Chains A and B, each alone.
Chain A
C-alpha cells in the first residue's frame, strides 16, 4: 500500500513537471486524453468484464458535439464539454440498454454494430462536416477567468480533469456498487440468484463508462482543435481495447500505461513506417492475446505478489 502511494505521488510529480522537461505539451495532453479514454473503457472491460467494441462512438460523438457547440453555437468551454458528455451519456444509455440484453461476444458484436450507426450518422449529418470533420475548435477559457489558449494552462486543466477521473474510477470500483460489479464479473448467475438486478448494474456501469469516454473525447477535441471521423471509427474502438489489454485490464494504472505506449508508438512510427503502423498494432494485439493477457501492470503486480484490485 505504501509503495502504491509512493508510486502515485511520484507519477503525479512527474506529470506536474513534465512540460518543463522538454516534452511537447500538446503530445502530453493527447496522452492524457487517450489515457482517460482507456481508464473509462477499463471500468467496463476490467471491472465488469463487458467487452464493448464500440467505445469510439461515445468518444467521437462527444468530440463532435463539443466542437460544434464551441464553433457554431459559440458556447463557453465548460458548457460545451458538459454538452458533449451529456450526449455521450444519452448514447450510452440507449446503446447500453439494448446491448446488456446479451453477454460476452454477443455484447461485443452488438456494441460494435450500434457504434457503426453512430459512425454513419456522423458521416452523413450536416453539422459534423462530413469527410473533413470539424476544424479550428477554439479552447476558449475557464469561466472567462483563465485562458486555455496557452498550452501549459491547457495541460494543467487536462491533468486536473484526468486525476479527478482517475480517482473517481477508483472510488466507483471500491464502492459497494463496484463490489456488485465484481460479483457480476466473477459469477453472473450467482449475482442474479443473490437478488441483484444485474442488468441495471451493468447498464449503470456502461453509462458511466460511456460518459467518461465522452469527457475524454471532448477534451481531445479542444486540445487538438479538431474532431474527425477517425475519432468515431472502428479503428479507434480497437485501439482503446489494445491500450487497456496491453497495460493490463482490471488494474488501475494499466490503461494509463497502455495508452502511453500505444500513442507514443503511433506518434513515432507514423513517420518511419507509414501504413505498416497498423501491421505493428495488429502484431502487438496478437502477442498480447497469445502470451501477455495480464498486460504490463498485471504482470508486474503478479511478480510482486499483489492482488489485481
Chain B
C-alpha cells in the first residue's frame, strides 16, 4: 500500500476530505461574516450561534415536526435569517453611529443568550442527526472510500459560495450592495433604500451560517456549544483572507480546512491551533491579510 510520512494514502485522503468538509463550513461562515462586515462594519460574534441554531432548527424540525432534511435545508436558513433580521432591526441598527467594537460586544451577548437558552432546553450533550437516505452510503473510488454525504457537503457549499459571489460581483443588486459598502450616504441619496438593504444583508449572512449548520448536522453532533469555538477559527480565517474580501473568505476557508486536515495526519496535536499559527504568520508578513487592501 502506498504510504506518505508512514501513513497509508487512503487515510491521508480521508483526512483531507474531512478537512475539505470543515473548510466548506469555514468558507460558508466566513463568507457571511465578510459580507456583513463589508456593509455593516459589524463583526458578528453571534455567527457561531446562528450556525448552531441552524443545526438545531433542522434537528427540532425532524424530531418534533416531521420536517425532512431537504425542507430543513430551505426552512432553517429562512427561520434563522428572519431572526437575524429581527435582531438587526431591534438592536444592531442603533449601534451604527457608535464605535464598531460595540457591535462585536452586542453580538457576543446575543451568542451567550442563544447558547444558554439551547443548553437549558436541550442539555449540553450532543444530538445525532441522521444522514438523509438519498445521501447515505459510500463511493469506492479505487484509491479511497468516499462517503457520499461528505462529497455533497463540499459540492453544496462550493455552489452556494459561487452563487453568492456571482450575486455580489456580477448582478445589479450586488453592484448596489458594493456601492453602499463604499459610500452608504451617496447611494441613499440616489434613492436606494439602504437601511432595508443593510437589514436584508444581515439576514442573508445569518442565513448562510444557518445553512452551514444544517449541512453540518449529520456530520457532527448537534450541541449548543458547537458554534462557540468554531466562530473563533472563522475569525482567524477572515483575518487571514482579509476582512471584507469575498473571494478571500471563500478561498482561505477551503484552503485552511485542507491544511487543518493535513495537520491531523502529520502532527495531530497541532491541528487545533494550526489556523491560529498561520494567522499570526500572515499578520507578521501581510498585516492586511492575503486578499485584503492595506488599511
Contacts and interface: CB of A to CB of B under 8 A. Distances in A.
B283 A281 contact: no
Interface in B102-118: 102, 104-106, 108-117
A285 B108 contact: yes
B100 interface: yes
A234 B108 CA distance: 11
A278 B239 contact: no
A109 B279 CA distance: 11
B236 A104 contact: no
Contacts, number: 120
A138 interface: no
A277 B112 CA distance: 10
Given A110-B283, A289-B105, A276 B116 contact: yes
B273 interface: yes
A241 interface: yes
A281 B112 contact: yes
Interface in A240-266: 241, 245
B203 to A, nearest CB: 19
Given A51-B101, A109-B43, A120 B272 contact: yes
Contacts of B120: 274-276, 279
A281 B119 CA distance: 14
A105 interface: yes
Q: How large is the interface on B (under 10, 10 to 19, 20 to 34, 35 or more residues)?
A: 35 or more
A114 B105 contact: no
Q: How large is the interface on A (under 10, 10 to 19, 20 to 34, 35 or more residues)?
A: 35 or more
A101 B104 CA distance: 19
A275 B116 contact: yes
Interface in A110-153: 110, 112-114, 116-117, 120-121, 124
A108 B109 contact: no
Contacts of B104: 51, 53, 105, 108
Given A278-B112, A279-B120, A286-B109, A112 B287 contact: no
B95 interface: yes
Contact of B110 (A101, A274, A286): A286
Interface of B: 43, 91, 94-95, 98-102, 104-106, 108-117, 119-120, 124, 228-229, 232-233, 235-236, 238-239, 243, 269, 272-273, 276-277, 279-280, 283-284, 287, 295
22 contacts: A53-B104, A98-B283, A98-B284, A101-B287, A102-B295, A108-B104, A109-B235, A109-B238, A113-B235, A117-B277, A120-B273, A121-B273, A124-B269, A234-B228, A276-B116, A278-B115, A278-B116, A284-B109, A285-B105, A288-B109, A289-B109, A290-B94
